[in-house]
Chains A and B, each alone.
Chain A
Amino acid sequence: MHIPDAFVPLWQSAIYWIIALIFIALALRWAKNELSEDKIPLIAVLAAGIFAIQAFNLPVAMGTSGHLVGGALAAIVLGSPYAAVFILTLVLIIQGIIFGDGGLTTMGVNILNMGVIGGFVGYYGYSALKSAGASMYLSAGIAAWCACFISSLAAAVEMAFAGTFPLVPGLIAMGTYHAAIGIIEGIITAAIIYFLVASRPDLLAEGATDPSGGGAAA
């Protein structure tokens, strides 16, 4: 759901950039306070891996394709929604500047949708589901689906403000396609967490690896 430059008027892009910059500042503060050097391998691999898998568009029927976004994944394994803002911002900067995927003026709104909304929905969705007794993989899968779906509805509303898509058809189409794309998000997120737990459980946020519940908070 990388929004290109042409889809948002410049003054609205500026507003989204300001909101994004506030969350980037909070994410940098989180990184400074909470991130230890032990996490370097995990973040380097997540940044490279999320970039690679975002290039892999899988067919989801309805003449549409989709790929993992990775905000929920980053937030769950690092135990904070700001981890998603941090990693997705890095990914979106490189995608926008080097590969022209997602605009430069619209990088702010893309960071807002995929990093901020994706990260917060993914993290708090995961925590809530786990507290309610769901298994960690099911919680991660459903939270990742919600992150994809809700981000897409946010994008539809932004497109309506921009005058690019009409509101209701935009919500229906974005919601329909991302309900399908979210299945990819859910399955791959759960699968990657499974492999991380199998290979390096110590790198994950405390509580993220506790299958008996208790939330993702460290």
Chain B
Amino acid sequence: MIDNKTFMIAGLIIAIIVGGLAVFLASGDPDGLESTALYVQGEKELTGPSPEDGDPEAIGGGTFEYEAPLPDYSTGEEGGKTGEILAVFVGILVMFVLGFGATKLLASKKTS
């Protein structure tokens, strides 16, 4: 069995490897919800390929717009793959700190 520190470092390293691989290897196809949006708009057959230039969100009502600082896990068009790696790493570290901090705050001094 490994100790807490080793477990957390190993977990973070695995998360960073998975996130880094995702930048290069993740599928560009739309996800299940987006594919459904294309299908119900008649832009895609149920089991057929997705159109290259399809816009799944065209079906939405557009009541609210929000510009995220790191949109779609990137630093924007000019950031390229480096920007995407940076964005994913930032996300992983923020999640780790948030998970650690929120649990620490709520669990206080209890031990099981």
Contact = CB atoms under 8 A, between A and B. Distances in A.
Interface residues of B, number: 75
Interface stretch (A94-102, A124-132, A138-146, A207-215): A94-102
Contacts, number: 257
A28 interface: yes
Contacts of B57: 4, 6-7
How extensive is the interface on chain A, given as a class?
A: 35 or more
A7 to B, nearest CB: 5
A48 B98 CA distance: 9
A118 interface: no
Interface of A: 1-7, 9-10, 28, 31-32, 35-53, 55-59, 61-67, 86-87, 90-91, 94-101, 103-105, 152, 155-156, 159, 162-166, 169-170, 172-174, 176-178, 181, 199-203
24 contacts: A1-B33, A10-B63, A35-B106, A35-B110, A39-B112, A44-B8, A45-B11, A51-B95, A52-B19, A55-B19, A55-B73, A56-B18, A57-B31, A63-B44, A64-B30, A99-B68, A104-B64, A105-B63, A170-B36, A176-B46, A177-B36, A199-B2, A200-B1, A200-B7
